[in-house]
Structure 1
Amino acid sequence: MNNEQTDSTQESVTYTNPVGEMSDIGDPYVLKVEDTYYMYATSVAHAGFKVWESTDMVEWVEVGMAYDHRDHEEKWAQYDFWAPEVIEHNGTFYMVYSARAYNGSLKMAIATSDSPTGPFMDATVGLIDRPGSFIDGHFFIDDDDKAYMYYVEDNHENIVDGNHVSHVYVQEMTDDLLNVTGEPHLLLEPDQAWENPHGEYQWNEGPFVVKHDDLYYLMYSANFYASSDYAVGYAVSDNPLGPFEKSESNPILSKDMENGISGPGHNSVTVGLDDETLYAVYHVHTDPENPTGDRRPAIDRLYFEDGEMKIGGPTSDEQELR
């Protein structure tokens, strides 16, 4: 980070991707609470999730384990603790995450805490109770306080026409944010050319919703997370339950191998220092020439232009943070 004094009262903050010193993470999620940012990520896959703090979204300090399954008296999962997301609602912090249950399926759970740094303790296990594997939970609370859970039926068990396919769903949530209710709505499946829609393994995953001008923009990632082709697209609806129509401009965030950027994806969205400018937070491969599950966080500005969602990236040169 470089800080330049622009006048007697204001500093200019800049960043260069990837941000922070952390590596071997994935699926970064950033929550801003007052003037502090908290980052959660797939980070300790055998046990739970680390949490980092920052005052500027550029320099991060690890502050421990937000969730540690080893501290729980009743253990329900073996490993594969993936993709934590945390929101604050009515003074309580809610974490949704997935892990591999003892029966071999990936299951989602919700844990709660009175602090963004934890410790988070399980409140709901097996959030989606129908057969299959389910990951990548995303809370969305609309302007009318109605809550929704977006999630993925993982291709580990979802076989369609002989292929393993990941699908994005949404369900309404109960007022206490601890359970889903109503029918699941299938929203997205791999069907655009960039998503390898005819491959043996196909992905639409990592959902995140941004509401803008009364429209719902559902961001998602496609392709294998350990591939340089991992990238971000979006779909739009006038209803949080869909149907959603994918943008013809997809993907809106994809690799730039000339500048060493491989596999940008599984993003969240947060606000900048001004509490207004939107930023997509995503991961990139630590070694772009040999992509694996070892990833690092990156950020770039997200904006809307003529009704289209855009991301000003992926960038690899110095950028101003607003």
Structure 2
Amino acid sequence: MKSSDYLFSKLTFFFILCLSLVSPGGKAQQTFCNPINISYRFSLDKPSRRMAADPVIVLFKNNYYLFATASSGYWFSEDLLKWKFVTTRDLPFEKDAPAAAVINGELYYMPLNSNIIYKATDPITGKWEVFNADFPLSIGDPDLFQDTDGRVYMYYGCTNNDYLNAVELDPNNKLKPIGKPVQVLKGDPARRGWERPGDYNTGTERPWTEGPWMTKHNGKYYYQYSAPGTEFKSYADGYFVSASPLGPFSYAPSSPFSAKPEG
């Protein structure tokens, strides 16, 4: 299994489906179920709840790194079972929905609505540096992705009235955009009923589409996204498919691929 296969889609809530995999060391298959036993923050407002939204996990130098919204730090683990917490003053942890990705052997981090990209070569130490302090786009729910040919892309968007987008980045020039962003998809509840707001998809307001995530498999590109809003029991994940990282993308009629009808 390639390292890219260990990347997990960002779901807005920190309750991901059970996962079975073979560890990097080739050990026997193990199964892990969330919520995992880590030092979550808690919101004491009623109803009291854990606060660890928008998780992203990447495999970097034989360790899994877990980042989440407003968690005061991040975690790493060798086996997805035992986690150690890392604190640092180098990253803005009160920012939401971070992106994390391994690009050319280094770990990069970028939070939502930020113009700064950070980089680390040894994140266990908590040491990060500012890689690009002037990223030119305003990014909601970013996802960084390096293709098998070495080219780098960003997928982003968190909106109830606009498009989710894609753009190529230049790995040799501070990950700056190459060309103009491509509009990939926009909420369409009239044709995709699961995107309609409300616990039972009965709302009439515009849905929120968010949390884009790119997965490449067997030469095809799967652009995942979430709708219609995190507050609804109907919150679910769909996807579009393309033969190219910038599209054109076609809606997958098997969407939503991840849903829990009663929340």
Residue 31 of structure 1: aligned partner: 58
Match of 2:118 in 1: 111
In structure 1, what is the equivalent of residue 34 of structure 2?
Answer: 17
Residues in 2 aligned to 1:166 and 1:126: alpha-carbon distance in whole angstroms: 24
* More displaced stretch, 114-123 vs 164-173: 114-123
- One-letter amino acid matched to 1:41: A
Q: In structure 2, what residue type is equivalent to 1:121?
A: E
Match of 1:175 among 171, 175, 179: 171
Provide the TM-score with structure 2 as the length reference: 0.73
Query: 1:194 aligns to what?
Result: 194
Runs of 4+ aligned residues of structure 1 deviating over 4 Å after TM superposition are 9-12
Which structure has greater strand proportion? 1
Using the aligned pairs only, state the percent identity. 30
TM-score when normalising by structure 1:
0.61
Structure 1: which 5+ runs fail to align?
A: 1-8, 70-78, 99-105, 156-163, 263-322
Give the SS at the match of 1:135: coil
Q: Decide whether aligned partners of structure 1 residues 62 and 40 sit closer, same or farther in structure 2, where only a CA change above 3 A counts.
A: same
The equivalences for 1:67-146 within 5 A come to: 67-69=90-92, 81-98=95-112, 106-117=113-124, 118-125=126-133, 127-129=135-137, 134-146=139-151
Number of aligned pairs?
219
In structure 1, distance between residues paired with 2:84 and 2:52: 14
| 1:241-320 → structure 2 map (5 Å cutoff) | 241-255=246-260, 257=262, 262=263
| 1:109 partner letter | I
Separation (CA, whole Å) in 2 of partners of 1:80 and 1:43? 4
Please give the secondary structure, in 1, of the residue aligned with 2:140. Answer: strand
**Structure 2: gaps of 5 or more residues:** 1-25, 41-49, 198-202
Deviations 1:3-49 (A, max 9, x none): xxxxxx966533233223333111111011243211001124xxxx5
CA distance in 2, matches of 1:41, 1:166: 25
Aligned residue for 1:170, secondary structure, equals strand
Shift, 1:203, TM fit: 1.8
State which of 137, 154, 172 in structure 2 corresponds to 1:149.
154
What is the identity, as a one-letter code, of the residue corresponding to 2:81?
A: V
Aligned to 2:8: none
- Note if contact 1:167-1:203 (Cα within 8 Å) is conserved in structure 2: no
Name the amino acid aligned to 1:127.
F
Corresponding position of 1:185: 182
Give the structure 2 partner of residue 57 of structure 1.
80
